[in-house]
Amino acid sequence: MAGRPLSPHLSIWKWGPHMLVSILHRVSGDGMATVGLAVFLWWLGALAAGPEAYQTFQGVMGSPIGLLVLVGLSWAFFNHMSSGLRHFVLDIGAGYELDTNKSFSIVSVASGIILTALFWAAVLLI
């Protein structure tokens, strides 16, 4: 067994922004699929159940915890979109240079945060 090569793992690879983007892409996609679907189905059910059920939904989603969920879902959307655009550029064969990849990874995470802030600024100001 001593001659077998080791599979790469975190003790071999140096942590970098590209790893963070990859992990956040998966987390944001899974979050939208699970939490987003649950909120959508609750909204749809409350809409069909009548005014009282819909008022309950509005009350929960308007509470601090509900707003945190909605902000989290919007961040997941914008982060996943930004990371998806990064992956699209990589799929066409561009952006593999180390400095470019690192910069694009940082821009991807930052743009998800900035777009979320701009979205909520627009929602709250209108």
User: Domain for residue 4, yes or no?
Assistant: no
Comparing CA positions, the residue from 100, 74, 76 lying closest to residue 89 is 100
pLDDT at site 83? 96
pLDDT at site 63? 97
What does DSSP assign to residue 66? H
pLDDT at site 115? 98
User: Domain for residue 7, yes or no?
Assistant: no
User: Domain for residue 70, yes or no?
Assistant: yes
Domain that includes residue 74, residue range:
17-125
What pTM, to 2 d.p., does this model score?
0.86
* Cβ contact 47:5 at 8 Å: no
User: Domain for residue 55, yes or no?
Assistant: yes
pLDDT at site 92? 94
User: Domain for residue 12, yes or no?
Assistant: no
Which amino acid, residue 64? P
The CATH number that applies at residue 58 is 1.20.1300.10
pLDDT at site 14? 77
* Cβ contact 25:87 at 8 Å: yes
Neighbours of 106 (CB within 10 A): 14
User: Domain for residue 50, yes or no?
Assistant: yes
- Split into its structural domains, the chain has a count of 1
User: Domain for residue 9, yes or no?
Assistant: no
Full pLDDT tens readout for the chain, 126 residues: 567 766 666 667 778 898 999 999 999 999 999 999 999 999 999 999 999 999 999 999 999 999 999 999 999 999 999 999 999 999 999 988 989 999 999 999 999 999 999 999 999 998
User: Domain for residue 114, yes or no?
Assistant: yes
